[in-house]
Amino acid sequence: MKKKILILSGGISKERLISLDTGLQVAKELKKNKYKVRISEPDINLSKIIKKFKPDIIFNALHGQFGEDGYIQTILENYKIPYTHSGVVASSIAMDKEISKKIFIRNKISTPKFFIYEYNEKNPDLMKKINKFLKFPVVVKPLNEGSSVNVFICNKKNIFKTLNSIKNYKKVMIEEFIGGREIQVAIMGNTKLGAIELRPKRKFYDYKAKYSSKAKTQHIIPVDLTKNKLNEILNIAYKAHRVIGCNGVTRSDFKFYRKKFYLLEINTQPGMTKLSLVPEIAAYKGISFIKLIEWILKDASAKR
C-alpha cells in the first residue's frame, strides 16, 4: 500500500511562489503514481491537518526563511513523523551564509572573500575596506535568503544606494565578485549525482534567470570539464554536504574561474519545479522525477 504524504508548501518567505510550484509539481507526480497526498500551508492549522490526515511522511517543499533554516524542522521534530531533507542544525547552518562560509573556510573549501556590513554601525571607511580586501565590483546579499533574492552586483557608483534599498535586513554580506562559469552540483545522500552549467543571458544567475523561462538561461549538461576537474567539483560538493551535516538531496552553487572552483553556497532544499536543476541532473543520470521523489521519501524514512 502506498504511503500517505503531506506536502508542506507556500509559507511566508520571499520564495513563497517557488515553494507553491515545487509543492504542486511533487503532488502531481505522487498522485499520478497512486500516493495519497495532501498539500498544507505551515500555519496554525498544521497540527489539526496532521492529526486528521495521519501522514506517513512529510515532504518539506518550503523554500527560504522559516522553511529551510531550521525553524519548521524544529516544529516537525515534535510530531515524530519523518520529514524530508536536512534536519534542524544542518538546515540552520546552510541557510546562514556567514556561518556556512566560515565552515567552508575551516574545511579548506574555497569560497569568495567577504565581510559583514551592519546597518547599526557607522561605516565611514566602507569604500576603503572594500578596496583593500575585496575590490570592485562586489556582491551584496542577505545572510538568510535563497533563490538570489535581493542579491546585487555593485560598483562604486551604486553601492550605497543598493545598501540603503535593503537596510531592513539590519546586516548583509559584502562578498568578492568572482567571474567565470556558473556550475551547480547535486548530491543525493552518498551519491555524487552530477553537475550542470548555467549560462544566463542576464548579468548573473539571479531570481529571474532561475525561474522565468523568458530569461532563456542555457542549461548545459554534460558540463565541459576534464574528468579530473569534474571529479574535483563533485568531491568539493560532497565534502560540503558532509561537513554541514546534510541529509537527502542538496545542490551546491559554484563559480569556476581561472581553473579554480569557488563554492558560493549549499542549498538543503533545492527546487522541484519545471526549471529546477536537481531533477534535470537526475534525469540526465537516468533517474525519473518520481524515482527522485521516492528516493527523497525513502531517505526521510531511514532517518527515523
Work out the average pLDDT over 154-172: 86
Catalytic residue among 9, 13, 15, 169: 15
The pLDDT assigned to 124 comes to: 61
pLDDT at position 168, please? 83
Show Cβ contacts of residue 11 under 8 Å, excluding neighbours closer than 6 positions: 19, 41, 42, 62, 63, 64, 66, 67, 72
Q: Give me the pLDDT at residue 128, please.
A: 85
Q: End-to-end CA distance of the chain, in Å?
A: 20
Which residues partner with 37 through β-bridges? 5
Average pLDDT (170-198) is 94
Q: Which of 253, 262, 276, 280 is catalytic?
A: 253
Three-state SS sequence of the chain: CCCEEEEECCCCCCCHHHHHHHHHHHHHHHHHCCCEEEEECCCCCHHHHHHHHCCCEEEECCCCCCCCCCHHHHHHHCCCCCECCCCHHHHHHHHCHHHHHHHHHHCCCCCCCEEEEECCCCCCCHHHHHHHHCCCCEEEEECCCCCCCCCEEECCCCHHHHHHHCHHHCEEEEEECCCCEEEEEEEECCEEEEEEEEECCCCCCCHHHHHCHHHCCEEECCCCCCHHHHHHHHHHHHHHHHHHCCCCEEEEEEEEECCEEEEEEEECCCCCCCCCHHHHHHHHCCCCHHHHHHHHHHHHHHCC
Lowest-confidence region among 110-119, 238-247, 286-295 = 110-119
Task: Please report, to the nearest 10 degrees, the dihedral formed by the alpha carbons of residues 264, 268, 274, 279 taken in order.
Answer: 100
pLDDT in tens, 105-118: 999 999 999 999 88
Statement: residue 52 has pLDDT above 70: yes
Task: Tell me: pLDDT of 189 over 90.
Answer: yes
pLDDT score at 167: 81
Q: What phi and psi, each to the nearest 5 degrees, are found at residue 57?
A: -145, 145
Q: Which residues contact 250 (CB under 8 A, 6 or more apart)?
A: 86, 94, 186, 187, 237, 240, 241, 266, 267, 268, 270
| pLDDT > 60? residue 211 | no
CA 190 to chain CA mean position, Å = 18
Report pLDDT digits (tens) over 56-87. Answer: 999 999 998 899 999 999 999 999 999 999 99
The confidence score (pLDDT) of residue 14 equals 83
117: annotated active-site residue? no
Burial class (CB in 10 A: 0-12, 13-18, 19+), 98: middle
Q: How many CB atoms lie within 10 A of CB 28?
A: 12
pLDDT for 214 beyond 70: no
Question: Is 299 an annotated catalytic residue?
Answer: no
Q: Which of 100, 206, 251, 280 is catalytic?
A: 251
Residue among 68, 175, 197, 265 flagged as catalytic: 265
Distance of CA 29 to the CA centre of its chain: 22
pLDDT in tens, 121-162: 655 688 888 988 898 899 999 888 765 678 899 988 888 889
Examine the pLDDT at 28 and tell me if it is beyond 80: yes
Model pTM? Answer: 0.90
Identify the pLDDT of residue 205: 45
Neighbours of 288 (CB within 10 A): 12
271 is catalytic: yes
Catalytic residue among 207, 211, 238, 262: 211
The one catalytic residue in 40, 100, 267, 276 is 267
The mean pLDDT value of the chain amounts to: 90
In the chain, the percentage of residues whose pLDDT exceeds 90 is 70
Say if residues 215 and 195 touch (Cβ distance below 8 Å).
no
Looking at 140-149, 196-205, 245-254, which range is the least confident one? 196-205
Is 207 in the active site? no
pLDDT of residue 274: 75
Domains in the chain, CATH or no CATH each: 4-84 (3.40.50.20), 93-110+179-302 (3.30.470.20), 114-176 (3.30.1490.20)
Mean pLDDT, rounded, for 262-274 = 92
Q: Is 251 assigned a catalytic role?
A: yes
The catalytic residue among 60, 147, 252, 276 is 147
Residue 211 bears catalytic tag: yes
Which of residues 120 and 16 earns the better pLDDT score? 16
pLDDT band for position 213 (50/70/90)? low
- Model confidence at 1, pLDDT cuts 50, 70, 90, reads confident
State residue 30 phi and psi, 5-degree precision. -65, -40
Cell of 215: 530569461
